[in-house]
Amino acid sequence: LHTYRLGFIGFGNVGKTLLALLESRRAMLEQRYDMTFMTTGISTLRHGSAVDHDGIDPVKALAAGNLGELSAFSIPQDVFEFIRLSQADVIFESTPVDYFSGQPAVDYLKAALSAGKHAITANKGPVVHAYRELKTLAAKNGVSFFFESAVMDGAPIFSLFRETLPAARLDSIQGVLNSTTNMILTRMELGDSFDRAVAYCQEIGIAETNPQGDIDGWDAAVKIAALVTVLMEFPLLPSNVDRQGIAHLAPVDIEMAKSQGKRWKLVCSAHRSGESVVARVAPEMVGMESPMFHAEGTTSVVRFETDVLGPLTIIEKDPGRETTAYGMLADMLRALSRI
């Protein structure tokens, strides 16, 4: 029974849910994977940080207003020093990330990998901005860099290709990957104005205070760029995605689609074009024969065309609170089983 030491950088909803999920699976992980774990470090920006090599009490960590009270050390407010001090085998990174640079997550992940720790992120920013660099760094240090939760929550999109479709070439991707815009469009079909639909998404907590990144298609662009970069092995920046948001869609457009038996969806797509890959995010009118038509609210859909299978579509319906955290847990098991 091997004991792994876990460190968290960022301890918001995702980090907390992950810690709770890990604890709820403790007996199963011991039994099925012959492993156990303890949390030796948690670093946050505004709620203090804690390091304890004997393990931080998870119940206290989940309840703490200031994590500093649980620390066996005096912790510098520097994440790089934290990574070193934590003695963690696995670092879970889930901090707020800037779309356009992938920072500060990229630097944290680099530091973790360079220190010989497996690095697992829930963020897509580092994937589009530093995938090759982080992957190379991981290989050099004999550890793993995984990010299953970065797109479609914890649904196994990246590992589907990495693990289950060897020797396949991915030719095209098409899907609905941004849940805020999808919920806005669903609400507008029910009669909401655009502004009212946005307000609804904020009320139920799926849209941020400033939802412009979703509405303008940036979030979707980062997601399709991440899929292209990893699965098509073609580095693509979000700024190279031909991008159009949904802000110009008015109730009259929604009605027009409805009268044709169609629905507007913010469609992400990418396909090979010679040696390059062309990617696009734009609202499209979709007919009911498409699985995208039926993706309501927070449901995500993605369709892959390869050179070996018929088109393969994956639908993740209404992901729950634990879905993102589960993706990180699955990444951890993948990383540790490769040691």
Footprint of a second copy (CB under 8 A):
25, 28-29, 32-33, 153-156, 159-160, 163-168, 288-289, 291, 294, 299, 308-320, 322-323, 326, 329-330, 333-334, 337
Q: How far is the CB of 63 from a second copy (least distance, A)?
A: 24
Helix axes 251-259, 179-189, angle to 10 degrees: 80
Residue 288 exposed, middle or buried by CB count within 10 Å (0-12, 13-18, 19+):
exposed
Contact between 155 and 320 (Cβ < 8 Å): no
Which residue's CB is nearer to a second copy, number 243 or number 303? 303
**Quick one: which of 190, 219, 157 has its CA closest to 297?**
190
Q: How far is the CB of 82 from a second copy (least distance, A)?
A: 27
Give the 3-state DSSP-derived string for 204-241, with helices as H, strands as E and coil as C.
CCCCCCCCHHHHCCHHHHHHHHHHHHHHCCCCCCHHHC
Residues 6+ apart with CB under 8 A from 137: 110, 113, 114, 145
Q: How far is the CB of 155 from a second copy (least distance, A)?
A: 6
Which residue's CB is nearer to a second copy, number 81 or number 322? 322
Which residue's CB is nearer to a second copy, number 166 or number 205? 166
Contact between 290 and 262 (Cβ < 8 Å): no
Which residue's CB is nearer to a second copy, number 158 or number 264? 158
Residues 6+ apart with CB under 8 A from 130: 102, 106, 109, 110
Which residue's CB is nearer to a second copy, number 228 or number 301? 301
- The SS3 call for residue 40 is strand
- How many Å apart are CA 29 and CA 43, to the nearest integer? 25
Q: How far is the CB of 289 from a second copy (least distance, A)?
A: 6
Q: How far is the CB of 108 from a second copy (least distance, A)?
A: 25
- How many Å apart are CA 3 and CA 68, to the nearest integer? 24
Which residue's CB is nearer to a second copy, number 50 or number 151? 151
Q: How far is the CB of 160 from a second copy (least distance, A)?
A: 6
Which residue's CB is nearer to a second copy, number 216 or number 305? 305
Residue 135 exposed, middle or buried by CB count within 10 Å (0-12, 13-18, 19+):
middle
Q: How far is the CB of 140 from a second copy (least distance, A)?
A: 20
Our CA angle for 250, 225, 118, nearest 5°, is 130
**Quick one: which of 79, 37, 69, 32 has its CA closest to 55?**
37
Which residue's CB is nearer to a second copy, number 146 or number 194? 146
Q: How far is the CB of 153 from a second copy (least distance, A)?
A: 8
Which residue's CB is nearer to a second copy, number 156 or number 235? 156
Omega within 30 of 0 (cis) for the link into 126: no
Tokens of 89: 């085998």
Q: How far is the CB of 231 from a second copy (least distance, A)?
A: 14
